[in-house]
Amino acid sequence: MDNPKNNLDITRMELANRLFFRLYQCANMLHKTGTRAVEDLGLTTQQWAVLGALSRPEVPDGMSVGDLARYLMVSRQNLSGLISRMERDGHVASAPDGRDRRSRLVTMTEHGHAVWHREAVPRIHDYYGQALDEFSTGDITHTLHYLLKLLDNMKQIDGAAGSENGTSDDGEMTGAQK
């Protein structure tokens, strides 16, 4: 006779596999279709995340590379190349942090502000509207709730592994990303 608990565990793992595979597919589609929404502005989804993080009112003077990496949950190495490309394109600037000379402070340039606020944000909002078509406000709220629960669990796993990458206190994207 089958053990009902084993069947329940198998069903749970099959559902978990489907869920994580769908998250993987969504991440890939976000990168592909999100980049398409802003690529003629010279932006990618990674650059949009950086500009969104730097556009938050709570960081008017910019962010250190380390803080930005933790907020975006990426490695400093990956962020370093991204920031270099964004500096080359005139979207951000970096300079030694006056509070800690070992650290670099990343700020949005005037050009970056203009591109972000006048051009990128309206396109991103249009993209969100298309991606969330037929989602009610309740659907969006519930989805966000469960994604934040999942993110919290993953951060615990990451912390247990001793990773140096974390997130901001609230773990949320802001600006056009909110």
User: How far is 83 from 109, CA to CA, in rounded Å?
Assistant: 12
pLDDT score of 7:
80
Backbone angles phi, psi at 121, to 5 degrees: -55, -45
Contact 123, 38 (CB under 8 A): yes
Report yes or no on whether pTM surpasses 0.85: no
Mean pLDDT of the chain: 90
The one-letter code for the residue type at 158 is D
> In 101-176, where does DSSP find H-type helix?
110-114, 121-131, 137-160
pLDDT score of 176:
52
pLDDT score of 168:
40
Domain boundaries, the chain: 17-129
Q: What does each of the 178 residues of the chain score in pLDDT, given as a tens digit?
A: 567 678 879 999 999 999 999 999 999 999 999 999 999 999 999 999 999 999 999 999 999 999 999 999 999 999 999 999 999 999 999 998 878 777 899 999 999 999 999 999 999 999 999 999 999 999 999 999 999 999 999 999 998 887 544 444 444 444 454 4
CATH architecture designation of domain 17-129: Orthogonal Bundle (1.10)
| Helix, coil or strand: residue 92 | strand
User: How far is 163 from 157, CA to CA, in rounded Å?
Assistant: 9
